[in-house]
């Protein structure tokens, strides 16, 4: 598939190699968007699901390389790919395996801290409970942590739009007069309660998110769910300003107390809000390849507002979103960013350190040998490894020169 990528990824480039070697984070990574093709083929065989098993056909349906520089961005096609992956993630064994393999893939490119997110309701088609699903994810991640030098966290997602999945369809059957909007709000509230309950049981649970179609589904509709998460001390990150304007980000940070923003691609369209987000040190989880694939405003990486955000000193962290659909890794995303915006390794190190400084924490397990303690240790180790102070001085110096 490599030849279809408009930006040439030269794995022999010393810059690529240097980025690969650096300790990194991935704070925005969807479990159902980050399966290996080999695993998909294996699971199709094992589960007897009727999908093509031909690798080329599968890649065509699942990998969106050709959409990066295209004017035609088909969100429909992008989302259809998730129908395939989710169909294969309806039993605990497969879910655990996929979580394990994702952490393994990340560890193998020196990602030291990974936050994996998923919407439990999407895995309820065959009767699994939300608790069984989340426990399977945590188990898979814990298994990878034993084997590799990686710390992981879990973000539980509620969905903005009505999803015709097991649990939600059952709800409609039981309550025939309920409308889609009310059903999705109810499910979000349930998911928030689930996130709080699981955070008390498993140190991996570090956040609550709202994902899905932004248009016509404003975040403020889900205020009750966010209230439950906040009162339960589960930190909030929200997909906002990806497919909708800055008002979506306004709702996320003002109405719903988001501690981080997923994407925030349209934040630059409101200067005042951008200043607020910068001053509040609210990090943006930037997934540049994914944005190029779904946002019709961009046909070149250089058109993405990332550089503007960096120049405005916004806390931006580079993430993968969907390793499978976007055919990417953290190394690749950082390399693309460096190439597109002509950044040196010091700038890349600052982006990486933003990731380590923006990790979410589970406050129910503060003193045990858990992600919290491991993350703190990791952060100070990485700060030394990245030579953070020097990198920061150099980057600040380059900004000062530019603004003189
Ligand atoms: Zn996302």
Claim: this prediction has a pTM higher than 0.85: yes
The domain spanning residue 299 has which CATH number? 3.20.20.140
Rounded distance from Cα 403 to ligand 1 centre (Å): 34
Round to whole Å and give the CA distance between 197 and 329: 32
Q: Which of 71-85, 104-118, 150-164 has the lowest mean pLDDT?
A: 71-85
Rounded distance from Cα 177 to ligand 1 centre (Å): 32
Domain boundaries, position 298: 2-403
Phi/psi of residue 271, each to 5°?
Answer: -60, -40
Q: What pLDDT is attached to residue 402?
A: 67
Rounded distance from Cα 207 to ligand 1 centre (Å): 14
How many CB atoms within 10 Å of residue 3? 6
Q: What pLDDT is attached to residue 4?
A: 47
pLDDT at 213 over 60: yes
Rounded distance from Cα 263 to ligand 1 centre (Å): 7
| Digit-coded pLDDT (tens) for 287-298 | 999 999 988 888
pLDDT at 184 over 70: yes
DSSP state of 370: S
Nearest to 20 by CA among 375, 356, 345, 390: 345
Find which of 53-57, 171-175, 192-196, 360-364 is predicted with most confidence, using mean pLDDT: 192-196
CA atoms lying within 13 Å on the CB side of residue 152? 30
CA pseudo-torsion sign 318, 209, 95, 165: negative
Rounded distance from Cα 321 to ligand 1 centre (Å): 5
Q: What pLDDT is attached to residue 372?
A: 66
Question: Out of 242, 247, 271, 297, which one is annotated catalytic?
Answer: 242
Counting residues of the chain whose pLDDT is more than 70, the rounded percentage is: 96
Angle between helices 75-87 and 55-62 (to 10 degrees): 130
Q: What pLDDT is attached to residue 262?
A: 96
Rounded distance from Cα 219 to ligand 1 centre (Å): 15
Rounded distance from Cα 239 to ligand 1 centre (Å): 6
For the chain, the distance separating the N- and C-terminal CA atoms, rounded to the nearest angstrom, is 44
34 or 255: which carries more pLDDT confidence?
Answer: 34
Structural contact between residues 121 and 173, judged by C-beta atoms closer than 8 angstroms: no
Confidence of residue 175 (pLDDT cuts 50, 70, 90): confident
Q: What pLDDT is attached to residue 370?
A: 60
Q: Which of 314-318, 349-353, 362-366, 395-399 has the lowest mean pLDDT?
A: 395-399
Rounded distance from Cα 128 to ligand 1 centre (Å): 23
302 is catalytic: no
- pLDDT averaged over every residue in the chain: 90
For the chain, what is the domain count? 1
Q: What pLDDT is attached to residue 382?
A: 83
Q: What pLDDT is attached to residue 194?
A: 98
pLDDT at 139 over 90: yes
Rounded distance from Cα 401 to ligand 1 centre (Å): 35
């Amino acid at each position: 598939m490599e030849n279809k990528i408009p930006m040439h990824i030269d794995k022999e480039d010393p810059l690529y190699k240097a980025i690969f070697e650096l300790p990194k984070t991935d704070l925005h990574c969807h479990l159902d968007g980050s399966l290996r093709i080999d695993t998909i083929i294996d699971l199709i065989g094992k589960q007897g699901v009727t999908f093509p098993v031909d690798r080329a056909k599968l890649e065509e349906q699942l990998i969106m390389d050709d959409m990066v520089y295209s004017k035609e961005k088909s969100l429909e096609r992008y989302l259809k790919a998730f129908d395939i992956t989710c169909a294969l993630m309806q039993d605990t064994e497969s879910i655990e395996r996929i979580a394990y393999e994702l952490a393994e893939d990340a560890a193998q490119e020196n990602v030291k801290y990974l936050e994996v997110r998923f919407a439990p309701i999407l895995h309820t088609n065959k009767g699994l409970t939300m608790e069984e699903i989340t426990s399977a994810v945590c188990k898979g991640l814990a298994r990878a942590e034993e084997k590799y030098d990686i710390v992981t966290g879990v973000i539980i997602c509620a969905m903005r739009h009505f999803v015709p999945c097991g649990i939600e369809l059952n709800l409609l059957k039981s309550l025939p007069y309920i409308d889609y909007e009310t059903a999705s709000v109810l499910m979000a509230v349930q998911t928030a309660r689930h996130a709080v309950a699981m955070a008390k049981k498993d140190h991996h649970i570090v956040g609550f998110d709202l994902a899905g179609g932004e248009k016509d589904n404003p975040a403020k509709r889900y205020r009750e769910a966010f209230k439950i998460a906040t009162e339960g001390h589960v930190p909030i990150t929200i997909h906002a300003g990806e497919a909708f304007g800055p008002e979506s980000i306004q709702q996320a940070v003002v109405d719903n107390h988001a501690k981080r923003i997923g994407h925030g691609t349209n934040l630059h369209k409101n200067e005042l809000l951008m200043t607020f987000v910068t001053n509040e040190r609210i990090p943006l989880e930037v997934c540049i390849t994914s944005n190029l694939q779904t946002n019709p405003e961009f046909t070149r990486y250089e058109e993405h507002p990332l550089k503007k955000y960096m120049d405005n000193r916004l806390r931006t962290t580079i993430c993968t979103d969907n390793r499978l659909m976007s055919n990417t890794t953290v190394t690749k995303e950082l390399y693309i960013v460096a190439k597109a915006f002509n950044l040196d390794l010091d700038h890349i190190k600052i982006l990486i350190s933003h990731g380590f400084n923006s990790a979410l924490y589970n406050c129910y397990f503060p003193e045990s040998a858990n992600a919290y303690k491991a993350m703190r240790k990791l952060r100070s180790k990485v700060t030394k490894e990245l030579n953070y102070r020097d990198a920061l001085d150099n980057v600040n110096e380059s900004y000062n020169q530019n603004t003189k």
